[in-house]
Amino acid sequence: MTTPQRIALPGTVRTNGATPNPWWANAVVYQIYPRSFQDTNGDGFGDLKGITSRLDYLADLGVDVLWLSPVYKSPQDDNGYDISDYQDIDPLFGTLADMDELIAQAHRRGIKIVMDLVVNHTSDEHAWFQASRDKNDLHADWYWWRPARPGHEPGTPGAEPNDWGSYFGGSAWQYDETRGEYFLHQFSRKQPDLNWENPDVRRAVYDMMNWWLDRGVDGFRMDVITLISKQTDASGRLPGESGSQIPDLPVGEEGYSSPNPFCADGPRQDEFLAEMRREVFDGRNGFLTVGEAPGISPERNEHITDPANGELDMLFLFEHVDFDCDGVKWKPLPLDLPGLKRIFASYEGAVADRGWTALFTGNHDQPRVVSRWGDDSTEVSRIASAKAWGLALHMHRGTPYIYQGEELGMTNAHFTSLGQYRDLESLNAYRQRVEEAKVQTPESMMAGIAARGRDNARTPMQWDDSRYAGFTAPDAPVEPWIAVNPNHATINAAAEVDDSDSVYAFYKRLIALRHENPTVAGGDWTLIAPDDPRVYAFTRSLDGRSTGGHRVWDAERLLTVVNLSGESADLPADALALLPADDAIADGVTADRILIATGPDSEAVTAIVTGRLAPWQGFVMRL
């Protein structure tokens, strides 16, 4: 295990309730989507050697951990989240030797490697699933197999065991002629759900995780890990199955019911996670576990991430990226900033005493934040709004996650035709909602995909202004697997790394601030002006502490104020009340009290003195 190159947060600063503080208490994680990061062999797909070649860039940025989306062997139905062999690397990305070299080179730079762990489901091409198609095989009960609904011919419409729909469109059940039964898949039909009720499944998963940790990885980001425990009745029947004591929910507009209330945060969730901790992580040091947590409330987040309960270090909650739509993600709504603030306040409040939260606005499943909630219509507004959202997020209490290209202010793809998209969720949703259920017009659906589709985050990393943005060679024999955003000519790493006013330079400062300032890393968080429609304001505070008669740090209180709109805004009255008396503002607020600002410190002082924020202006000041 490697030691990140940053100061250790003093043990007397309380973070998640552990003693001493975990190493990641003031760390920053960077997510890499390998197929879109760096292609070294000209096949149009990113690879492990490409990630290794860019480690100096990541070390310069200052991140502590790299989270890699899946690079395991896979048919690539869902871009690697359908795994056919957990203990091998897909040839698309390289070899196990390439993975070993990446780990070694990252560790030499003080950077840890966290792998994506997908164990709610496998690929239907995994050896476990293929064996389970035989009812007499030892793997027969490793997946959720069910017979057809009584009175229906197997494989015909209406014969599915219940009415559950897949998150990727269509039924959540797929008929298998070899076995003569249906298997459950909450996602693609090529992603059958593992049966975690079977202890042999859990043992196999734990053995695989230990194998990777022994090989040198530093932990796991666990895909939809809160879906592994399903609710069943006393006889083991799922809701809505024939004879089940648990009724299903009504079907929705697309013709299916939702499995989420019965599969998210199920009855054995805590038991499974605690068992995983004991079987895989007990006795190890320096690791990180973070779970993708659909269906988890802030209160449950506190329980799962409380170190006393021995489950996970942190979770990704989703209410803040799910609420700005009219029922479904394909009908986006304008941002309700007070609503967003209330959600973040619930996250922060739940872990005020124990537990931890993961901070993010973007990842491989979300659109680019600068296009979603910022303004990418002009270069000036793009840079300003990218900095504003970066400042707002990174000044929260928790562990920030940066998605590749976010530190450059990369934007949505702005595709205009369905043929430009590659993501099966978007393509399936169009077919389901427009062509089959006819619940959304083609124009509305295309607008929804353009705004919220996952491919927005998956266009190639923009390294320079060359033909393919430096993702692959300009004369590569094939084009990238998905089109490069044309704005790479102006938005790219080469143009930003040496520009002190760039989004990249600003993110470097945000990362360094978390590394160096105990208040930013572990201080209390308090929301102010919750109903202001344009300005996000909160305080961070930490008492001065002494150890052995020596002062460790001075008491500090920080005020964060960010105008998250494209219009000028008044400084909230609650924020003004924290500043020096009106007649002393000009003398009491000087540039040396500005910790960080989206523009020159002098402009932040002017905003404080005048009580007026420019569009997308933000600052942090010492009170």
Inter-residue contact 418 to 430 (CB < 8 Å): yes
Tell me, letter by letter, the H, E, C secondary structure of 520-536.
HHHCEEEEECCCCCCEE
- Within 10 angstroms of residue 554's Cβ, the number of other Cβ atoms is 10
Say how far apart CA 39 and CA 42 lie, in whole Å. Answer: 6
> First vs last Cα of the chain: how many Å apart?
39
Q: Which of 292, 348, 376, 556 is catalytic?
A: 292
Q: What is the DSSP letter of 265?
A: T
Inter-residue contact 240 to 201 (CB < 8 Å): no
Tell me, letter by letter, the H, E, C secondary structure of 480-514.
CCCCCCHHHHCCCHHHHCCCCCCHHHHHHHHHHHH
Inter-residue contact 164 to 240 (CB < 8 Å): yes
Say how far apart CA 2 and CA 181 lie, in whole Å. Answer: 48
Tokens of 155: 């494989």
Strand partners, 164: 257
Inter-residue contact 60 to 497 (CB < 8 Å): yes
**In what helix (H) or strand (E) does residue 199 lie, and over which residues does it extend?**
helix 199-215
Closest CA to 589 of 579, 603, 599: 579
Inter-residue contact 46 to 34 (CB < 8 Å): yes
Q: Which of 163, 176, 181, 223 is catalytic?
A: 223
Inter-residue contact 155 to 148 (CB < 8 Å): yes
Q: Is 292 a catalytic residue?
A: yes
Inter-residue contact 2 to 107 (CB < 8 Å): yes
Q: Provide the 3-class DSSP secondary structure of residue 613.
A: strand
Q: What residues act catalytically?
A: 223, 292
